[in-house]
């Protein structure tokens, strides 16, 4: 609500403040509603899978639902801040390029979005995996939350981090269909991913308990993302642009630097659990700042420039 009201004065100043007039008989309204319903389902599969995971976790040992909740909150942060932001940026751009019948520019925009997701998603997933216990301890190790809760939550956080990149890719690949007014394909793929998630749940819940549920969600997200990518590629909507081998090598170098700095500066889990809240916050700030600096300095040294990611 605060985000909505913050925008209103600026829209008013520009003369763009909307004045809603509800008319369900209007052709445009009915068309949008028909497209919106399947689109909502198509991009909400991960959230539906999480709900199913929570239901199944309620049958496991006490604390399982909370452990999944803590780890999901952390994995949702980079997804909500960066994945959705990139998706919001590219949808109108893709729609314009589809309307202009510019297939090459459409494909180039999708390629840009995938690279942007990799640029942010890979280090975010790596950091979540390497700092699982410290992050959980810093944010949640208070009151009734025990050392065991931290350890168990870290297990599911690592499982979710394995799928973070896939969750973000889904957010930017699905608009490739929506911009072309194809909402049916993401729904079909979403149904396949949901069924796969239940199969993975049944296979992993016994050996890995709550972490198995989180891993199942990650695996189904990768299946979802792969099928979206394959569909776009098959229809010619996504074509690999030049420079991918070099870009992947640059990413590998930068993420290696990030991992090296985190492993060098991090302290044993026991110390994190013994720290006061202020000590944890201070140590985490140092790790985050050092990791971010190492990553972007390594990117720059590897030849990546910000101007390469300015969308045209």
Better-scored residue on pLDDT, 38 or 300: 300
In a domain, 276, yes or no: no
- Long-range own/partner contacts, residues 141-150 (CB < 8 A, 24 or more apart): 141/273, 141/280, 142/277, 147/273, 148/63, 149/63, 149/66, 149/67, 149/70, 150/269, 150/273
pTM above 0.85, yes or no: yes
- How many whole angstroms separate alpha carbon 182 and alpha carbon 187? 10
Tokens coding 136: 């959980």
Question: Nearest Cα to 292, choosing from 142, 162, 124?
Answer: 124
In a domain, 93, yes or no: yes
In a domain, 274, yes or no: no
DSSP letters spanning 271-286 = HHHHS-HHHHHHHHHH
DSSP structural state of residue 241: P
pLDDT at 29: 57
In a domain, 196, yes or no: yes
Q: Contact, 122 vs 85, CB < 8 A? A: no
In a domain, 61, yes or no: yes
In a domain, 152, yes or no: yes
In a domain, 286, yes or no: no
The number of domains in the chain is: 1
User: Residue 121 above 60 pLDDT?
Assistant: yes
Range of the domain at 182: 34-238
What are 218-260's pLDDT values in tens digits?
999 999 999 999 999 998 888 888 899 999 999 999 999 999 9
In a domain, 12, yes or no: no
What are 157-181's pLDDT values in tens digits?
999 999 999 999 998 898 888 888 7
């Amino acid at each position: 609500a605060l985000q909505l009201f913050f925008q209103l004065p600026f829209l008013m100043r520009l003369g763009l403040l909307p004045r809603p007039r509800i008319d369900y008989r209007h052709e445009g309204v009915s068309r949008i509603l028909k497209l919106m319903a399947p689109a909502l389902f198509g991009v909400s599969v991960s959230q539906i899978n999480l709900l199913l995971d929570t239901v199944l976790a309620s049958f496991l040992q006490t604390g399982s639902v909370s452990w999944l909740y803590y780890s999901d909150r952390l994995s949702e942060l980079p997804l909500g801040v960066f994945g959705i932001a990139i998706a919001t940026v590219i949808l109108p751009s893709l729609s314009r390029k589809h309307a202009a019948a510019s297939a090459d520019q459409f494909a180039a925009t999708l390629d840009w979005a995938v690279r942007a997701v990799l640029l942010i998603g890979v280090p975010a997933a790596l950091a979540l995996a390497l700092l699982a216990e410290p992050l959980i301890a810093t944010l949640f190790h208070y009151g009734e939350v025990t050392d065991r809760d931290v350890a168990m939550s870290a297990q599911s956080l690592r499982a979710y981090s394995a799928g973070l990149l896939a969750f973000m890719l889904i957010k930017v690949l699905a608009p490739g269909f929506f911009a072309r007014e194809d909402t049916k394909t993401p729904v079909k793929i979403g149904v396949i991913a949901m069924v796969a998630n239940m199969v993975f749940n049944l296979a992993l819940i016994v050996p890995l308990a709550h972490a198995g549920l989180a891993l199942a969600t990650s695996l189904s997200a990768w299946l979802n993302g792969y099928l979206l990518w394959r569909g776009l590629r098959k229809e010619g909507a996504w074509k690999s642009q030049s420079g991918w081998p070099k870009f992947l090598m640059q990413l590998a170098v930068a993420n290696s630097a990030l991992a090296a700095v985190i492993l060098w500066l991090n302290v044993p889990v026991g110390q994190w659990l013994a720290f006061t809240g202020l000590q944890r916050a201070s140590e985490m700030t140092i790790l985050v700042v050092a990791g971010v600096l190492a990553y972007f300095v390594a990117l720059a040294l590897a030849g990546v420039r910000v101007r390469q990611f300015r969308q045209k």
